[in-house]
Amino acid sequence: MAEYVPSTRDWVREQVALYEGSDGADGTTLRNTGLPVIIVTNQGNKTGAVRKTPLMRVKDGDNFVLVGSQGGAPKHPAWVFNLRADGQVQIRDEADLYDMTVSEVLEDAERARLWALAVEAYPPYDEYQTRTSRKIPVFIAKPA
């Protein structure tokens, strides 16, 4: 397996270390919100390195919904390009690990349904979409 290269963003690197170092007992919420996060492990599309990203936990049955919001920034987060290139990921939800296959949701009705679930789990997503002209990507992760 490729080497893990931690994020250059302090809060991401620290949250992943806390989450994984405690086997999912600590660091399981987004900063001071109290809202649950998961850790998505994937392969970098340019470097081939292992990347780990905390994302909001949005569930759809046994599936996870992944939202590329980046707080409404003008550009997609790097992990969006990684998942578009290789949809094989591992998701850590507290102490549980899941091998998943991810695909981007492009069909309007399904995307709208999943977007509504995401906003229910994390209401700021709606505001984030108003901050950017890009259509925030939505992915579905299903058991591999």
Q: Could you give the CA distance from residue 47 to residue 82 in angstroms, rounded to a whole number?
A: 10
pLDDT category of residue 1 using cuts at 50, 70 and 90: low
- Is it the case that residue 32 has pLDDT exceeding 90? no
Counting the structural domains of the chain, the total is: 1
Say if 4 falls within a structural domain: no
Q: Where are the alpha helices (DSSP H) in 88-144?
A: 108-121, 124-131
Say if 1 falls within a structural domain: no
What CATH number is attached to the domain comprising 16?
2.30.110.10
Does pTM top 0.85 for this prediction?
A: yes
Say if 32 falls within a structural domain: yes
Q: How is residue 105 written in tokens?
A: 């949701």
The model's pLDDT over 70-99, given as tens digits with 9 standing for 90+, comes to 999 999 999 999 999 999 999 999 999 999
Give the CA angle between residues 37, 114, 117 to the nearest 5°: 55
- What DSSP designation does 72 have? G
Length of the chain: 144
Say if 74 falls within a structural domain: yes
Q: Show the domain range for 125.
A: 10-143
Say if 3 falls within a structural domain: no
Q: Which amino acid is at 22?
A: S
How many CA atoms within 13 Å lie on the side-chain side of 34?
Answer: 0
Say if 108 falls within a structural domain: yes
Q: Could you give the CA distance from residue 19 to residue 2 in angstroms, rounded to a whole number?
A: 20
Q: What is the CA radius of gyration of the chain?
A: 14
Say if 60 falls within a structural domain: yes
Say if 2 falls within a structural domain: no
Q: Which amino acid is at 130?
A: T
